[in-house]
Amino acid sequence: MPQVSTSWADLVLTTAHECADVLAKGADGVWSRPAGDVDWSCRAVLDHVAVGQVGYAGLVVAQPRDRYVTLFTGLDAGAPIERCLESLRVGGTLLSWAIEKAPADLRAWHPWGTTDVTGIAAMAVMELAVHTYDIAHGLGLGWVPPDEWLPDVLARLFPDAPHGHTPADTLLHSTGRTDLPGLPRRRSWRVHAAPRPARNAG
């Protein structure tokens, strides 16, 4: 059975580790602050995105058709931020390994609809990018995701996204973080999770 290209796995791994490195610059900050415009604190969003990488790995491994994986995990509420960032790297690495070995015809349930391995990988990168953006702004780091991470993610998840803008600006608009010239901020949004032909990242 053919397997998905390792390029998506590489993108997940790179994104997870680089996001952790970005957030490490704010490790001594006030993590109880709101994460940008998100209602959660920076610490709660970090927990969410780290655990989410493990959850996505669970979808790749279990391939459930009608439910999310029954996988209960979380970060120690009393753990220092440096250890939590280690968990972000661990979760991203586990997901990358799972993606690398996943069959190309994988199908798995997701709240946004049945998806495939490229959908899972793209959603994982999107979550890492936008939530690192949220936390970074909550901590005053002023970071935006690198454009080179995003073209394949946008093509996979937001095929109807507006053209003529940088990939980072397009992703942040597509996920309701910012406006674009002539386009107000989105108050609701949804990814295209359904399996579809998409070129590999890389």
Question: Does a structural domain hold residue 86?
Answer: yes
Q: What is the full DSSP assignment across 91-151?
A: HHHHHHHHHHH-BTT--B--TT--B-HHHHHHHHHHHHHHHHHHHHHHTT------GGGSH
b/e sequence 49-66, b meaning 16+ C-beta within 10 Å: bbbbbbbbbbbbbeebee
User: Does residue 197 belong to any structural domain of this protein?
Assistant: no
Provide the whole-model pTM: 0.91
User: For residue 98, is it within any domain?
Assistant: yes
Domain range enclosing 144: 6-149
Would you say residue 196 has pLDDT above 90? no
Is residue 172 pLDDT above 80, yes or no? yes
Nearest alpha carbon to residue 125 among 83, 71, 171: 171
Q: Is residue 50 part of a domain?
A: yes
pLDDT digits (tens, 9 = 90+) for 75-94: 888 899 999 999 999 999 99
Q: Which two tokens stand for residue 168?
A: 């980072």
pLDDT in tens, 130-171: 999 999 999 999 999 999 999 999 999 999 999 999 999 999
Instruction: Answer whether residue 180 is part of any domain.
Output: no
- CATH of residue 23's domain is 1.20.120.450
Task: Establish if 143 belongs to a structural domain.
Answer: yes
Mean pLDDT of the chain: 91
Quick one: average pLDDT of 109-118? 92
| Residue 157: inside a domain | no
With respect to residue 166, please indicate whether it lies within any of the assigned structural domains: no
Domain count, the chain: 1
Tokens 């709660």 found at? 44
Position 2 confidence tier, pLDDT thresholds 50, 70, 90? very low
| Residue whose entry in the numeric block shows the structure tokens 């602050």 | 33
